[in-house]
Structure 1
Amino acid sequence: MFSENKKNKMVENTSSQNIIAQGTKIVGDLNSEGDIRIDGAVEGNIKTSGKVVVGKTGFVKGTLQGTDAYFEGKISGKLALSGTLTLKSSAHIEGEVIVGKLSVEPGATFNVTCVMKGTVKEMNNGGKRKSETEKTA
């Protein structure tokens, strides 16, 4: 009985990862609470609370919503992330991007309109200038 409880706890703590293999094409929407790795092609909308990894052979055409994404492959469409977008040198991104943070390696193609939500929040001090919010002794 002890091993069953221990086993159940281990299963609960394990995160799930969905893999779309090279040579696979999915047309339609994907919703997941776990991580997604794409080495094939997806035409449609992807929504996840996990991390998305698009391998060198991966291609997404549509909208991708999530926390963090790591691209070696391609996307054409809208990318909305609350966390970090990481682009490797082989990445090719076209469309609209909304991110918290952006990391781009030299050689990556980044042809988008981009909004960085994290930077806007840091710069906005409730509409007050820095001199109005700080006091000197």
Structure 2
Amino acid sequence: MAKVNGSETQPGREGVISIIGPGMKVLGDCDTEGTLRIEGTVEGTVRAGKAVVVGKDGVVDGDVHTQDAVIGGRVNGSLIAESRLELQATCVVEGEIHARRIKLEEGGTVNGTVKIGDVSADSPVRSYGSGARKSGGEVSQSTAGES
């Protein structure tokens, strides 16, 4: 416990980082108020109140819903980042992506629909395809940096 202005407080759960290590496999959903780092495999839905980090050897076979996400491994399912999504050069994402802001490094692979904008259901969303603006926002067999 910490003391703030003379009174004791519990450490914030959102500051806790949970880790699924290399070689570890989780069957089922994962929920946390803080940050989840995945270096192993998760087969199920992942929900994190703060952030999800998928390392370059990490795999998620299911949906991901969080505030911020950094993806270096593989995600097979929908990926919703209410604030920021970073797709690293080593990532492979198969499925729908919806994020307020996206950074895609050259070499990262996305196969699916990409929607950029407010994540709330009643807000308009900007959709982008592979390099050019499209009404449907479909991205198929696209790798960042291709011409």
* TM-score bracket for this pair, using the shorter chain length: 0.7 to 0.9
- 2:14 and 2:117 map into 1 onto residues whose CA distance is 31
Amino acid at match of 2:45: N
Q: How does 1:1-137 map to 2 (within 5 A)?
A: 5=3, 8-9=8-9, 11-12=11-12, 15-118=15-118
Relative to structure 1, is the Cα distance of residues 115 and 76 closer, same or farther in structure 2, using a 3 angstrom cutoff? same
- Where structure 1 has 5 or more consecutive residues not aligned to the other structure, the ranges are 124-137
Letter in 2 for 1:21: G
Structure 1 runs, 4 residues or longer, greater than 3 Å off: 3-6, 8-14, 118-123
Q: Percent identity?
A: 31
What are the superposed Cα offsets for residues 60-80 of structure 1, whole Å, 9 maximum, x if unpaired?
011111111001111011111
After superposition, the CA RMSD in angstroms is 2.6
Structure 1 pair 32–106 and aligned structure 2 pair: CA distance change class (3 A): same
Flag the structure with higher helix content: 1
Shift of 1:105: 0.6
| More strand per residue | 2
**SS of match in other structure, 2:114:** strand
- The normalised TM-score by structure 1 is 0.78
The answer on whether the counterparts of 2:13 and 2:33 sit within 8 Å (CA) in structure 1 is: no
Structure 2: tracts of 5 or more residues without a match: 127-147
Larger Rg: 1
The offset of 1:117, in angstroms, is 2.4
Q: CA deviation at 1:11?
A: 3.2
How many residues are aligned here? 121
| SS of alignment partner, residue 52 of structure 1 | strand
TM-score normalised per structure 2:
0.73
